[in-house]
């Protein structure tokens, strides 16, 4: 059960829970595969580092980031015992409005799937102006957003099962 926090500092730097009890799916978009592959490697390594068992991690690929929403929805329908779904993609700005449509659709779609199933569905989608910005966030100078997505999944799975 939730308890009252003693002071404001309890909000900062919460420890990362042990993930050994959780079943987590990772859905990876194939578009910009060099980048999404690096996000995937980071997410997988981080889940394992925090105790998620290898046989409780389910990985699938979908063609593009637009498909992440449907894949998360299908996953949670077929496997309702999942504790979280991590969606990984990379959308790079081009000359047309495609970027805006995909980013809006996947952000709203992932949000709605999570609410519908009352499960954490994690937005691990890079939305960048160019490839270099994406590389910088997929194991480059700004870290790996796949790692962050994995930590968020564990924290939210813990939240959902202990609140």
Residues catalogued as catalytic: 98
- Is residue 78 annotated as involved in ligand binding? no
Q: Which position has the token pair 């390594």?
A: 45
The alpha-carbon radius of gyration of the chain (Å, integer) is 16
Segment interacting with ligand DLZ, rule: CB under 6 A, options 16-24, 28-36, 80-88, 138-146: 28-36
Q: Applying CB under 6 A, which of residues 26, 35, 47, 66 lies at the interface with ligand DLZ?
A: 66
Q: Which is nearer to ligand DLZ, 17 or 42 (CB)?
A: 42
Annotated binding residue at 65?
Answer: yes
The response to whether 137 counts as a known ligand-binding position is yes
Of 88-127, binders to ligand DLZ (CB under 6 A) are 89-92, 94, 98, 102
The three-state secondary structure class of 6 is coil
Instruction: Using CB under 6 A, count the residues that bind ligand DLZ.
Output: 15
Q: Is residue 19 a contact point for ligand DLZ (CB under 6 A)? A: no
C-alpha angle 103/93/60, rounded to 5°? Answer: 55
Contact indicator for 99, 93 with CB cutoff of 8 Å: yes
Among residues 16, 21, 23, 31, the one that binds ligand DLZ under rule CB under 6 A = 31
Copy the structure tokens of residue 150.
Answer: 């994995």
Distances (CA, A) of 100 to 48, 57, 93: 34, 31, 8
- Can you state the percent helix, strand and coil of the chain, rounding each to 5? 50, 20, 30
Residues that constitute the known binding site for (2S)-2-hydroxy-3-oxobutyl phosphate: 95-96, 137
Residues that constitute the known binding site for 5-amino-6-(D-ribitylamino)uracil: 31, 65-67, 90-92, 123
């Amino acid at each position: 059960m939730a308890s009252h926090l003693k002071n404001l500092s309890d909000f900062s730097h919460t420890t990362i829970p042990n993930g050994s009890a959780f079943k987590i799916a990772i859905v990876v978009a194939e578009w910009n595969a060099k980048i999404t592959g690096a996000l995937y490697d980071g997410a997988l390594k981080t889940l394992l580092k925090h105790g998620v068992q290898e046989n409780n991690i389910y990985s699938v690929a979908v063609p593009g980031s637009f498909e992440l929403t449907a894949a998360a929805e299908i996953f949670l329908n077929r496997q309702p015992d999942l504790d979280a779904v991590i969606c990984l993609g990379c959308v790079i700005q081009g000359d047309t409005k495609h970027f805006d449509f995909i980013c809006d659709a996947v952000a709203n779609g992932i949000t709605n799937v999570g609410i519908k199933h009352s499960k954490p569905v994690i937005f691990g989608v890079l939305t960048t102006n160019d490839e270099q910005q994406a590389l910088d966030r997929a194991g480059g100078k700004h870290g790996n957003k796949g790692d962050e997505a994995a930590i968020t999944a564990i924290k939210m799975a813990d939240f959902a099962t202990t609140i």
